[in-house]
Structure formats: C-alpha cells, structure tokens
Structure 1
Amino acid sequence: MTSLYEKLEDDVDEGPRLPTGTGTDATPLNLFEKEATEVRNHRVNWQSYVQGQMISQEDFIFIRDYDNAQTERRDQLIQTLGPTCAKTFIRLMGRIAKEMTVRYILTTIDDMLKENPERVVIFVEHAKKTKTSPWTPFLNMLNRQDKFTINQASRIIAKLACYGKERMGAADLKFYFTWLKQQLTAPANQFVQTVAESLQQMLRLNEYRVAFMENEGMSTILSVLSGKVGFQIQYQLIFCVWMLSFNPRLCAQINKYNIIPVMADILSESVKEKVTRIILAVFRNLIEKPSEREVVQENALAMIQCKVMKQLEVLEGQKIEDEDITEDIEYLSTKLVDSMQDLSSFDEYSSEVKSGRLEWSPVHKSEKFWRENCMRLNEKSYELLKILTKLLETSRDPLVLCVSAHDIGEYVRHYPRGKNIVEQLGGKQLVMQYMTHEDPNVRYEALLAVQKLMVHNWEYLGKQLQQDAN
C-alpha cells in the first residue's frame, strides 16, 4: 500500500515535490515556473563578459562548455572539476550585476542540484577551502530587490542546507527563517508558494524544526492560515505543521498557538481531498505523538471544542476511497470519544477558554460549576484568567466579550480575593470600558461584572435588587 508520506508527496505534484522540486496547483504555479522557463531559454553572451574583463578566461571556458553540453557531458564536467565548478558559479554571481544573467546563473545552479542532490558536495568542499559555509553566498543574495532572484536563491539555500551532511548554524538559521517568515506575510507576494516550498524542504530535518519553533515560526504559519489564502497555501503550510508534529516535544507546543481551531475551520470548508488528508494527519499526530498524557488530552479537548467530531461524521458519510483518510477518521473518532468520556466540566470549560471561541455553554451559567471550580482559574499562574482578560482586550465578537465579562464576574463573586488579581491583570478596567459598548448584551454583562467587582456582598445586593424590582 502506498505510504501516507508518498501519497502526500504525490499531492505536492500540485505543490512542491520534496525533496527534488517545485510546485503548486495549476494556476498559481505558474508564475515562478513560467519565469524560470524564460530564464532557461535566455542565451547569455558570455563572450562579451570575458572581453569586458568582467569574468576570467577560466570562468568563461567552463560556463561556455557547461551551457553547450548535453546532460552526460555536464555530469562529467561537474565530476572532473568538483569544487572548481562551485567556485566558478559563485565567482560569476559575485562579478556580474546584470539581473537577467544573475537569474540565469541561479537557475542553472538550482537545476543542477535538483537533477542530482549529491552535487551539494562540490559547494561544501569549496566552502571548506574558503572557510565559509556553502549557503553564505546565497544568503547574501536574499538582500537583493529582484523577487525571482531572491526566491531562486532561497530554493538553493534549502537544498544546500538539507541535501548535504553539514547543518546550518543558529545565526544563519535565524536569518533565513526570519526571511522566510517575512516573505510568507509580505502583502501580495506572488511567489509565496515558492517560499512555502523552501520552508517545507527545511522542515524535513528535525533540528530545523526545533529552530523554526524557537524562532516563533508557528505564529507566522497561524497568521497566514487565519487569513484568506488559497487551498494550495493552506496545504503547504499545514504540511509544515505536519512535519513539526513528528517531534513529540514540539507537539506539546503546537496548539499553544491555537492552530487546532484554525485547521478545524479549514477542514469544515475544504473541498480538496489533499487538504483534508493533511489536516487529519496533523490531528492524528497531535494525539499519537506527545509523550505526556496531559498534552494528548488538551489537544483532544481542543478538537472536541472545535467540533472536529462533527466533521469526522460528515466525512464518514462521504465515499472516500483513500485508505489513509478512512484510517485517520476511524482513529480520531475513537480517541475523541474516549476523551469525551473522561471529560470533566472543568476540562470542557478550560478547552473552550483556550480555544478563544466562547459561547453560552452550560458551564458558564452553572452555580455549582463556579462554586466548585472558581479557584482553579488560579492554576498555572492564572492561565485561564489571563486568557479571559486577553479576549476582552483583543476580541471584536460581542458573544466572546459577553461570556468573558460574565466569567470574570463569576470568578470574583465566588472567590472575592480574586478581585485584586483581576485588577492587576487589567481585567477590571477592560470590563468597565464595555459598559458603554454599542451592543446592549455586552453592556449588560459588563455592568453585572463591574457590580460583582465593586461590591463585597453580591448575594445581599442581589436580594436588594430583587426586592426593589418587586
């Protein structure tokens, strides 16, 4: 049977084929590939460069022979010259300013590495002689203005960093990942799929996965997936999350960025089987890979909270022939049902708050729940209380604001000593500002919460209000 990894790589025929190539879906692919084809068909007048003394006679002879050679002859040239071949390409990059020629040189190098990944060794050996790293000249290229040039350089960097035995150091990794993140979020970036391809290539290696997470890469993926992007970008970036999820330690961090709700939304709207497949594969890893039971439970609860079970039921009703998808549906359904059976009311509440998608579920209005669990909002350095406060600060959803204000009020009503904590976190000021909100329900919940924050005897005040009403 075809493995999931092979199948996903087949999917990437429409997106980037790793590790050897490029990709996208029919339409968008093809701005980068179209330009690359034009670059390959461009004939550089190397004679003019040598006559103008811009390149040496040695470099001219090599590049002329390489350009004119058939595949077998090119392979012989590379094997015979070895690091000298790499030296020539890098010298040409450094001595020629004309952008079209630089594009041609980079595309030639990229094609050469794509044709045979083992050829990275010639750049590695040249770098040793010059006491640099093989990717250093290409990292410098990322500062250029031409969009095709910088993306072609990025593709080469990813190949050099992954195909060989030498690994990129922390400083270069930080620089490169920062560049990739900037490109992913750059407005109207026409080459964003090529950027995602480079990231997919890098995240094949565990040490790069760890570095990407340390450089807040998940925040960038989340911000892109939360916006309006096509299914190809969804697929490529969720593919990146999938690769990150193979590291058990990273699995414990992934949903701290609230990625499960975003992927659950994409799953509910997706009409592309490859997007469905990769999301289910991520969800399965988030249940299967973590070593801590608490992390598994938190991830499962987040999926339950985001109504993934309902989506699994919908998928079960469809005629899906892919065995990996059906197996993942069965696995996830079983695990999520098991988690629901172990679910306490506080687990349910905690998962809902962490998802940021508050609604009037029964626990919010339950007197028994708040009486028994109010002090649990103090756990983990007031984690849930901080999230409620943050939601009051950032959310524009009236329902979320209503429930957040209500819960902060209930917390201090049942735990009066919590008033100072809420005030220190800025919750009191935030609640008070919503007393003039345009939505009447928000105003009402904010008013009640402020009353609970201000008075010492809520029960007495409640009785007085009831008597006045009568």
Structure 2
Amino acid sequence: MSLSPPAIVVSLTQSIRARPILWDQYQRTNVINEQELRLIKAVDKVPKEKRVGIVESDPEGYASLLVSSSTGKSLLERSGKRVEFVQYLLALGVELCEDVPSYIIALNSRQDPYSHLITLLDHGDDPIPIIASSLLTTLISVSLAKSKVDRPTQQTLPTLFKYLATICASSESNLQDLAVQSYVLLLRNSYSRMTFWEMGDETVRGLTGVVETAAAGSKGKGTTDVGLTAGISSSVAALGGDLRQGGVNLQLLYHVLVGIWALSFEETIAEELDEKYDLIPPLVHLLRSAIKEKILRVCLAIVANLIGKAPATNLPSLLLARLLPLLSTLKGRKFTDPDLTADLDSSLGALEAFQLTQTNFDEYATEIRSGHLSWTPPHRSQDFWKKNARRIMEENGGELVNCLARALRESDDKIVLAVAAHDVGVLVKEVPEKRRVWDTALVKSRVMELMGDSDPEVRYESLKTVQEFLRYAFGG
C-alpha cells in the first residue's frame, strides 16, 4: 500500500535539511573524509531531479554514509554525539529512500543494515528516534516483501514495533499518525502480522482502542450520510479540514482500520480478535455511523475476512451485533466500488445462511456468552423460558450460569446489569430446585447489592429477583 510520508517526518526532515552545516570545517578536522564530503556536497540543497540522478549513479556510496560495510563504519555510526550530523544523515536517508529505489536496495543489501539505526530509537534528541523509526519502517517494509524474512529483519522488527507502540499511545496526533502509518506498511506478510499479534496488548490495543473510541462517539448515528459531509452530527467535526468521526481524526481512523484489516488475513488472528479485544460491537457501530465511504469499505473488508477466515467464531457475534439488518439496509444503496459490493454481498449471504441454522436458544446463548446483553426478544418471552430455562441452567456444566454471574460481577453497563438480574430472577422462578447454584456463584448477594443501584431499571429488576429468592427462603 502506498502512503504519503507522515506529516511529522516531512516537517522534521525539511527543517533539518535546510540548516547550514560547515562541512569543510569538519573535513579539515577529520570528522568526515574527503569521499564522504564529496558525496554530501553533491546532493546538498540541489533540486530533486538532479539529486536522484546523482544517487542513482552511486547508490552504494550513499548507502555507506548510513550503514557500515565490510570496509569500515558509516559516517552515521562515527558521528556519535554530533546531533546535527545524525539528524542530517537520517533526514537525507529518508528523502533518498522516498526518491531512489536503488538506494533502498543498496542499504538492505548490507550484512546488518539495522543494527545501528535501531539504537537511535533510544536517542535523547527528540527528532532522531522519530526519523530513525521512519527510515527503519521503509527499509524493513521492503525487506518483508521478500519470499523469506531474513535474520536482521526478524531481530529488529519486535524492537521497532515496541517503539511504535509507545508513540501510538502518545496524546500527540502527529506521533499517533506516524505509528499507525508505519504499522500499515509493516503488516504486509504473515511473519510481521504474527509478530505484531504475539506482542499482545502492547501493540494490538493501540489499534483496537482507537476503534472503540470512534465507535463510542458515534453511537446512535445512521449511515444515511455515508460519503457526505453535509449535516454532520455532533459526533463529527469538520474544523479546518480536520474531519473526525466519534472524536477521532478520520484519516487516523482509516489507517487504524487498514492495519486491523491486514491482521485479519491471518486465521489465528481472525479467530481471536473479537474474543480478546471485543472488536465486533465497535466495528458494527462504525459501519452504522460511517461518514465516508472509505471507512465503510474497510470495515466491510474486515467483516468479510472475519467471516471468511473464522466463520464458526465470528458469525454468532456478528449476528448478535445486529449486523444482518444493517447489511440489508446497505444492500439497497448504490455503491460504485466493486470490492465494497463484493464484501457486502458475501457477508450478507453468509449471515443469512447462518441465521437459518439458529434457534432461539442458540441466539440467547451467543448473547450471554458475549456479555453484551440487551432486551432482545427471548428475555421477555414466557414461552422461551418455559422451554429453555432448565437447559440454560444445565448447558455445558452451567456455562451460561457462569456467564450471567460474570456479567453481574464485572459489567458497569446498566442495561447489561438489568437484563442479567432479570434473567436470574426468571431462572430462579422456573428452576427453583437449582437456586443454590446462584449462591455458589455469589449472584444472590450481588443482586441484593444492585437493589441500591443509581439506575431505576437495575433497581427494579434486582428487586424482582430478590423476591424470587425470598419466595424459597424457608423452603428445603
């Protein structure tokens, strides 16, 4: 995927390259040698077209400024504490990588192209780690395109991911942008995706957290204005061209979703994304509230991968998240993007076919296991409880009982608490001989505690459930 260089990198490199450096003076004191001075002067402050031609004629020579060879250390490595040198050489390297493909090949052909660059991620001068990470990202992303991942790339990638995860957690949007765009370039093959995934919360949470934030700020918004900026609601701000969804910069959100889409090509990741990071509910919220077609397109691409790579794991959760009616609505709209249309059609077909196999009990069990309880029809259906209460209590050794207990114990969502309290009360009423199971799971005491909750619906449902427990207080 081709991306424009991150704004912060462009700004820093342009500023650094514009500063005058007294090269001749450094050459006279043997800081740089005559050959290095000639190479630098040939490309310093010359038009891009001329610079490209010069570097193309000697890519190995220019590579030697940044990366050591068998004949000796590079100028960058010898620069040591000369911050202005390090900054300049890194900025030059970034610009040459952008303009001269043969220069990247020359750098990557060195025996160990990353060993010194990776140490600069810990440099105390703020611009240096930023520019070094951008340079490393470019070099490693090209290396990852090879059929086999080489050892230097294997050794360096986790450290680079660790640095990017740190700046991804920054409050500065420019740094977040740099991290996420770097992820997009790096997550280009199975090896890098699994390396990223196996680092767990350190890396993945930076992406899923952005999706959660954008979705939380977009709840209740419709898809009627996809592709339009007119009539943007309070969840979207268009100020000075800074278009936002749910409080998140739209371009940042798009790059985050592209990163998740890349991860979802791995079957292992597709199986575990929702389980570990509860991704499906916010993803469906974004589909429902997307204000730009490109957001809709990449969300649908993620859904298609989740279904295609791990249908047994993800179809129940997608159905529970009410994706099917949303896709049916989207199906009635006209989209010109063939990939979007294909993903929409395949996802809709898979969900429709899966729904035909589901009973009321299956849908209820999926909901309870997910922890995303709401007032779906089974909760209010006397017929459902008459037919299924005993099965709910006994299924998989009381699995659903434990899920209800966990929802009451861990959730702070008032709807979840009210529904869970309601269901416990009905189960006590329908299967009274198993009521002691709720004592063992500490549910009875929790429901009594919720009688004092600030939410009136939680209080009401908890009171009704406590009454059911009390009905049998003096029974055997």
TM-score, normalized by length of structure 2? Answer: 0.77
TM-aligned CA distance change 1:459 to 1:374, over 3 Å = farther
TM-aligned CA distance change 1:458 to 1:180, over 3 Å = farther
Which structure shows the bigger proportion of residues in helix conformation? Answer: 1
Aligned residues: 421
Q: Are 2:55 and 1:74 aligned?
A: yes
Q: Are 2:159 and 1:206 aligned?
A: no
Residue 370 of structure 1: aligned partner:
389
Q: Are 2:169 and 1:185 aligned?
A: yes
C-alpha displacement of 1:375 = 2.1
C-alpha displacement of 1:149 = 3.2
C-alpha displacement of 1:241 = 1.3
| DSSP-derived class of the 1:360 partner | coil
What CA deviation, in whole Å up to 9, does each residue of 1:334-383 have, x standing for no partner?
1111111111223312332354432121223442332222222647xx4x
In 2, the alpha carbon distance for the partners of 1:358 and 1:89 equals 62
In 2, the alpha carbon distance for the partners of 1:405 and 1:89 equals 69
Residue 288 of structure 1: aligned partner:
308
Residue 356 of structure 2: aligned partner:
341
* Amino acid aligned to 1:141: L
C-alpha displacement of 1:431 = 3.6
Residue 10 of structure 2: aligned partner:
33
What CA deviation, in whole Å up to 9, does each residue of 1:377-400 have, x standing for no partner?
647xx4x55554454445333111
Aligned partners of 1:78 and 1:85 also within 8 Å: no
What CA deviation, in whole Å up to 9, does each residue of 1:229-283 have, x standing for no partner?
1221221111111111111222111221211111111111111111111111111
* Amino acid aligned to 1:229: V
Aligned partners of 1:377 and 1:385 also within 8 Å: no
Residue 419 of structure 2: aligned partner:
403
Query: Any stretches of 5+ residues in structure 2 without a counterpart?
Result: 214-246
Residue 265 of structure 1: aligned partner:
285
C-alpha displacement of 1:456 = 9.0
TM-aligned CA distance change 1:34 to 1:124, over 3 Å = closer
Q: Are 2:115 and 1:136 aligned?
A: yes
Residue 361 of structure 1: aligned partner:
376
TM-aligned CA distance change 1:440 to 1:40, over 3 Å = same
In 1, the alpha carbon distance for the partners of 2:175 and 2:416 equals 37
Q: Are 2:457 and 1:437 aligned?
A: no
TM-aligned CA distance change 1:180 to 1:387, over 3 Å = farther
In 2, the alpha carbon distance for the partners of 1:411 and 1:56 equals 84
C-alpha displacement of 1:95 = 1.9
In 1, the alpha carbon distance for the partners of 2:369 and 2:114 equals 41
CA RMSD of aligned residues (A): 3.2
In 2, the alpha carbon distance for the partners of 1:386 and 1:213 equals 29
What CA deviation, in whole Å up to 9, does each residue of 1:96-145 have, x standing for no partner?
5465553332222122223345544443454x3xxxx4323222222235
* Amino acid aligned to 2:89: I
* Amino acid aligned to 1:77: D
Residue 293 of structure 1: aligned partner:
none
TM-aligned CA distance change 1:136 to 1:458, over 3 Å = farther
TM-aligned CA distance change 1:334 to 1:89, over 3 Å = farther
Report sequence identity in percent: 24
Aligned partners of 2:120 and 2:132 also within 8 Å: yes
What CA deviation, in whole Å up to 9, does each residue of 1:8-40 have, x standing for no partner?
x5xxxxxxx25xx535xxxxxx45434443334
TM-score, normalized by length of structure 1? Answer: 0.78
C-alpha displacement of 1:61 = 3.5
Residue 133 of structure 2: aligned partner:
154
| DSSP-derived class of the 1:271 partner | coil
TM-aligned CA distance change 1:42 to 1:307, over 3 Å = farther
C-alpha displacement of 1:199 = 0.5
For 1:382-421, list aligned pairs within 5 A: 382=399, 387-410=403-426, 414=431, 415-416=434-435, 418-419=437-438, 421=440
* Amino acid aligned to 2:177: Q
1:64 aligned to 36, 41, 51, which one?
Answer: 41
In 2, the alpha carbon distance for the partners of 1:400 and 1:92 equals 58
1:235 aligned to 248, 254, 258, which one?
Answer: 254
